[in-house]
Chains A and B, each alone.
Chain A
């Protein structure tokens, strides 16, 4: 069935450095790829998304890139700050029924 693989499971970076999280999806018909951030004790919140007709999207310090041929997409966070510490989830939407297939999550740790 459809699945989304996310790497790494844990990422530790120095404050101010960049962080990159990568996801690979299996359903070539997927057309929407959101990224969610989950802080401790809270529900996941959308931080950025990209659609299949776009290769890259940027919003201040965060950016997402999509390679439809290779079926992978990545989240880039530049100039990391302590408040970026959280668990990040990627997802791919099934074209058939709008459901999201979720990655397993990446715990991002920003070291001061």
Chain B
């Protein structure tokens, strides 16, 4: 398996623009997580899907952030409008959540810079 795939790997945009990050989880996994990593705040969980349904979005910073999972093999995280404080590395992770063994496998991340 290719692992979790994220695109783009790097994104530079200007304040106010819409940004869309994409994730393809590992085939067969039923849970998907979006994280944001910064030096100041560390690794933060933004939203968690199970079987394509958002379970907990309490980590989404504000209404400018939205996430979708239209099917088991694709998810997007959208920021509209983007702001400089959104600059961070965004990770997608997937797992097979069974309550017993649910290792999260991380993608390579998308480094977002908002000017």
Query: What is A's interface to B at a CB cutoff of 8 Å?
Result: 32, 34, 36, 41-46, 49, 89, 93, 97-100, 102, 104-105
Which among B93, B97, B104, B107 has the highest number of chain A CB atoms within 10 Å?
A: B104
Query: What is B's interface to A at a CB cutoff of 8 Å?
Result: 4, 31, 42-43, 45, 48, 55-56, 91, 93, 97, 99, 102-109
Contacts between chains A and B (CB distance < 8 A), count: 42
The answer on a CB contact under 8 Å between A42 and B42 is no
Residues of A within 8 A of B104 (CB): 34, 46, 100
The answer on a CB contact under 8 Å between B31 and A98 is yes
Selected from A42, A45, A49, A100, the residue in CB contact (under 8 A) with B45 is A100
Selected from A49, A97, A102, the residue in CB contact (under 8 A) with B103 is A49
Cα A44 to Cα B55 in complex, Å, equals 22
The answer on a CB contact under 8 Å between A43 and B107 is yes
The answer on a CB contact under 8 Å between B56 and A99 is yes
Cα A32 to Cα B103 in complex, Å, equals 10
Residues of B within 8 A of A45 (CB): 106
Cα A39 to Cα B106 in complex, Å, equals 12
A99 in contact with B43 given A45-B106, A46-B104 (CB within 8 Å): no
| Ranked 10 nearest A-B pairs via Cβ | A43-B106, A102-B43, A104-B42, A44-B106, A46-B103, A43-B91, A98-B97, A43-B109, A43-B107, A43-B108
